[in-house]
Amino acid sequence: MTFRQARWDEPLLWDRESSDDDPDPVGVIPGLPASLRRKSPLEWPELSELEVIRHFTRLSQMNFGIDTSAYPLGSCTMKYNPKVQEMLARRRGAAEVHPYQPEETLQGELELFWRLERALARITGLPEVSLQAAAGAHGEFAALLMIRAYFRDQGELDRRTEVILPDTAHGTNPASAAMAGFQTREIRSKDGCVDPAELRAAASDRTAAFMLTNPNTAGLFEPDISEIDEILHDVGGMLYYDGANLNAILGVTSPGRMGFDVAHLNLHKTFSTPHGGGGPGAGALAAGEKLAPYLPVPRVVKRGRKFALDYDRPKSIGKIKTAFGNFGLDVRAYAYILAHGEEGLRHIAHRSVLNSNYLGKRLGTLLPRPFRPLVKHEFVLSGAPLRERGVRTLDLAKRLLDEGVHAPTIYFPALVEESLMIEFPETESRHELDRFVEAFTRAVNDTPENLRTAPHSLSVSRVDEVRAARELILSRKDLGAAAKLEAARPDAAAS
């Protein structure tokens, strides 16, 4: 297929109407049937380069990013992503490889998988790791399928139909359990932690697994973790570790030491690769001896000095993703681990816990803290007292945006009334923490009217969240439909 070279004095395609009897209009593939040709000229936007640059630069400045300010989004661990990791992920050897190249030409990439798996095995205290899953929730789902497959092999699947969860569980936990075909059973926490008596009452020979985050989403380390391990294993169930945020325990303790059988880690949280906005992610899975044979294929193996992909795992749950996971994220995570080393990773845990306790103590003078004051990487406040002034946690979160910081996580965990969940990762300095305290103080003490109408300084004020979800605009076609809806609104003429 060739394009005919246009002569400099020929009219350009968009300067004239094409007609069906024109045998070979300029710029059109010779022989293209008339029915496939444009009937009207293309509507090119008539803008200069400068106008385009200004437009997109302005748009980019309306956005919020870690490079401009802190993200105290509890449970999400929004840390700074060092630029050197980006540089490495964009090198040709990382960015331009194809997953279906012959294995001999992928030795470096396979070695990176293998080394990252070994590092994560050491960090989690669980011997076997798979890097296939594309997100935390994907890892949870895969692990639950592994648990199903295990109980099927034990001849216990008919009986083991339940997954137990505490009421502090991240929303993806019950969703993954339900998708994997289990019934979910929630147990009530006591002072923000698992109540062993509740767990004992719920656990039985119907229990397939108990899913737990530790430290949990209230930022508390479960003091009864050894008893939890005992209760679950006494009834023959599996202990599942939601390790989306490992910040608080890196190099200090591990799911393996706590007695867990399987864990997922969000490389896109703890190991500092970009996330938010729907991905991409990387949910590494680490498994103990019982569940390791069920990990997804392919597994990366080392044979002599060569690395290979091994599909010959008869017990595996099979393939869960095209290709071999999100390779770019693995490169960043591996670079991050190497850059820190074991001592450095431990330092991250210490610093993130220190940050969170410092901030928790200071903000605790403004709003009540529902649980014991000593926390790990995050803490929870309750905005309930604001109600007396007709203000809700949502208003406070919106008002914080005017201070140039991102809002914390709100209304989660659900067991705290009007909750705010705050995490300032180790990457944030004391100066940033103090600035946040000042911003928070100004926001809490603002007038109810200002709080209820915030934000005032951003390009978009309050959005109608229900409408935004119901009338999703994802394409130009939706945009047209939305404009029609807008015009048809009874109050449209007035505005």
Ligand X SMILES: *Cc1c(COP(=O)(O)O)cnc(C)c1O
The residues binding ligand X (CB under 6 A) are 75, 135-137, 170, 172, 213, 217, 242, 244-245, 266, 281, 283
**What's the closest the beta carbon of residue 71 comes to ligand X, in angstroms?**
13
Compare residues 25 and 281 and give the one whose CB is closer to ligand X: 281
**What's the closest the beta carbon of residue 424 comes to ligand X, in angstroms?**
15
Compare residues 273 and 427 and give the one whose CB is closer to ligand X: 273
**What's the closest the beta carbon of residue 478 comes to ligand X, in angstroms?**
25
**What's the closest the beta carbon of residue 493 comes to ligand X, in angstroms?**
43
**What's the closest the beta carbon of residue 244 comes to ligand X, in angstroms?**
3
Compare residues 79 and 170 and give the one whose CB is closer to ligand X: 170
What is the crossing angle of helices 136-153 and 172-179, to 10°?
A: 40
CB 80 within 8 A of CB 427: yes
Name the residue with the smallest CB distance to ligand X.
Answer: 136
Adjacent-strand bridge partners of 262: 240, 287
**What's the closest the beta carbon of residue 35 comes to ligand X, in angstroms?**
46
CB 213 within 8 A of CB 169: yes
Structure tokens given for 359: 């901030």
**What's the closest the beta carbon of residue 468 comes to ligand X, in angstroms?**
20
Compare residues 136 and 192 and give the one whose CB is closer to ligand X: 136
Compare residues 172 and 427 and give the one whose CB is closer to ligand X: 172
CA distances in angstroms from 326 to 86, 282, 323, 329, listed in the order given: 14, 6, 8, 6
Compare residues 216 and 393 and give the one whose CB is closer to ligand X: 216
CA distances in angstroms from 63 to 55, 56, 221, 447, listed in the order given: 13, 11, 35, 27
Compare residues 114 and 336 and give the one whose CB is closer to ligand X: 336
Compare residues 110 and 427 and give the one whose CB is closer to ligand X: 427
**What's the closest the beta carbon of residue 69 comes to ligand X, in angstroms?**
21
Long-range contacts at 158-161 (CB < 8 A, ≥ 24 apart): 159/205, 159/206, 160/205, 160/206, 160/207, 160/208, 160/236, 160/237, 161/206, 161/208
